[in-house]
């Protein structure tokens, strides 16, 4: 494409140069000829006054020799026969007698070619006797073509400069068009080879900029779709851990025997398989995207339902449970399945990482612009809360994939909220979940942090997906 543009520009410029330079050169040549013969006419007119006064050969010769052309031996005067006087020719004449007679007959200036090169201007001049004399001025070829060669050289130089300049401009224009297209093609190849971080600089002509923007948006969408797919696999697998935890705890009451041991071994094997699926999905691609708000649900009703499920297990383990703030309807912009998954993740962590008999509590607060869900326990607590909130960080604990709190965090951030870990009033861990209402900015103490955390998470995920 680049060389095609250069060839087209070269052909067009060459045609333009020829179309304008050749006629211009011919005009210059014609002007030089007109200038030479106009000068000859002026020189011929200088002898006119003398011819109108006298035709004496001696006087005429003196007059001719006193002129510039006469001194250069380029003027001749042809006087016809007057009365008994024979015709007289003064000076060095180069035109033939026939040309002189024809000029005298026609009564106007003519030109005649001269043997050996050059031309002769024949100018008729009236005499006092009424006859017509002819003044001949020799015009050499050098005067006729004076400056013509230089003009042609200048025109050729200008034309060549225009052609070279147009080729250079076409080459730069071609490079400006081709390079973005080559970068776009290269990025498409890289993306096809699985290098998802390939992006195209959004520069160049308007059309190619639009194509680059569309390609980058498509690549971002591909990355997000792949990340969401793997994240969904990891999260769905993690959700299986809640019933697996119940099964594992219930197997403790089966006692001894081959059937009980087989059941416990099967549960442990299933847990290991689920952990393997989660870790594989996590290692393949870091997660991107946020949980959507869905149709919304009643947080109080969902919490009561899930607490009814977990209370049976808590009773078996001798755990004291406290539930507060769920006596009235609290609508939140989170789909019921997502809130269920988040609650099960938090409550599952309590049963999984605290000793039997450890009490815990779930509190719900309506702050007007946000709903706060607190899950607290009297366990040993979390040594590094910030590390625990990082996706995929299991803290080196057995039976943990590090995705539980990430499910909770994504649910909160999808509404503009956030998650914070701290020390509970019971002495253990407190998970504080801020859930924004109707997309309004949060007014609580974690509001600013929530907004920054969400934007930072998106940027980090985008960079992770491109890594």
73: left (phi over 0), alpha (psi -120 to 50) or beta: left
Q: Backbone phi, then psi, for 125, in 5-degree steps?
A: -135, 130
User: pTM, whole model, 2 decimals?
Assistant: 0.40
Task: Provide the 10 A C-beta neighbour count for residue 380.
Answer: 13
Low-confidence ranges of the chain (pLDDT < 50): 285-294, 392-401, 440-467
Q: Supply 397's token pair.
A: 């604990």
Question: Taking a C-beta distance cutoff of 8 angstroms, is the pair 220, 463 a contact?
Answer: no
- What's the pLDDT tens digit per position in 129-174? 778 889 999 988 888 888 888 888 888 898 889 888 888 888 777 7
């Amino acid at each position: 494409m680049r060389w095609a543009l250069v060839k087209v520009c070269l052909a067009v410029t060459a045609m333009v140069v020829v179309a304008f330079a050749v006629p211009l050169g011919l005009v210059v040549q014609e002007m030089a000829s007109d200038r030479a013969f106009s000068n000859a006419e002026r020189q011929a007119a200088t002898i006119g006054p003398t011819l109108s006064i006298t035709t004496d050969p001696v006087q005429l010769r003196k007059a001719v020799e006193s002129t510039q052309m006469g001194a250069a031996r380029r003027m001749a005067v042809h006087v016809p026969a007057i009365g008994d006087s024979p015709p007289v020719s003064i000076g060095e004449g180069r035109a033939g007698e026939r040309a002189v007679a024809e000029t005298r007959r026609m009564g106007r200036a003519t030109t005649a070619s001269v043997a050996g090169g050059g031309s002769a201007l024949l100018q008729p001049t009236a005499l006092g006797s009424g006859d017509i004399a002819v003044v001949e001025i020799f015009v050499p070829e050098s005067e006729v073509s004076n400056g013509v060669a230089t003009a042609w050289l200048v025109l050729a130089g200008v034309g060549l400069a225009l052609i070279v300049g147009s080729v250079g401009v076409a080459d730069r224009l071609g490079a400006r068009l081709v390079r973005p297209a080559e970068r776009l093609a290269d990025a498409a190849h890289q993306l096809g080879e699985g290098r998802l971080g390939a992006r195209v600089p959004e520069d160049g002509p308007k059309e190619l900029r639009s194509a680059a923007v569309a390609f980058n948006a498509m690549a971002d969408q591909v990355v997000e779709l792949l990340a969401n797919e793997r994240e969904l696999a990891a999260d769905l697998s993690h959700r299986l851990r809640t019933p697996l935890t119940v099964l594992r705890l219930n197997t403790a009451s089966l006692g001894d025997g081959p059937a009980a041991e087989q059941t416990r071994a099967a549960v442990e094997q299933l847990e290991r398989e689920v952990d393997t699926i989660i870790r594989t999905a996590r290692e393949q691609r870091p997660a991107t995207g946020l949980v959507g708000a869905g149709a919304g649900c009643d947080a109080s009703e969902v919490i009561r339902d899930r607490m009814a499920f977990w209370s049976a297990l808590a009773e078996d383990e001798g755990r004291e449970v406290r539930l507060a703030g769920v006596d009235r309807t609290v609508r939140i912009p989170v789909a019921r399945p997502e809130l269920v998954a988040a609650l099960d993740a938090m409550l599952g962590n309590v049963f999984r990482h605290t000793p039997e008999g450890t009490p815990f509590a779930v509190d719900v607060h309506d702050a007007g612009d946000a709903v706060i869900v607190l899950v607290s326990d009297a366990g040993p607590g979390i040594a590094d809360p910030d590390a625990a909130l990082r996706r995929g960080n299991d803290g080196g604990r057995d039976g943990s994939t590090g995705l539980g709190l990430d499910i909770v965090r994504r649910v909160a951030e999808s509404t503009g909220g956030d998650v914070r870990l701290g020390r509970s009033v019971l002495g253990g861990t407190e998970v504080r979940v801020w859930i924004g209402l109707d997309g309004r900015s949060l007014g609580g103490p974690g509001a600013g942090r929530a907004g920054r955390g969400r934007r930072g998470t998106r940027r980090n995920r985008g960079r992770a997906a491109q890594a």
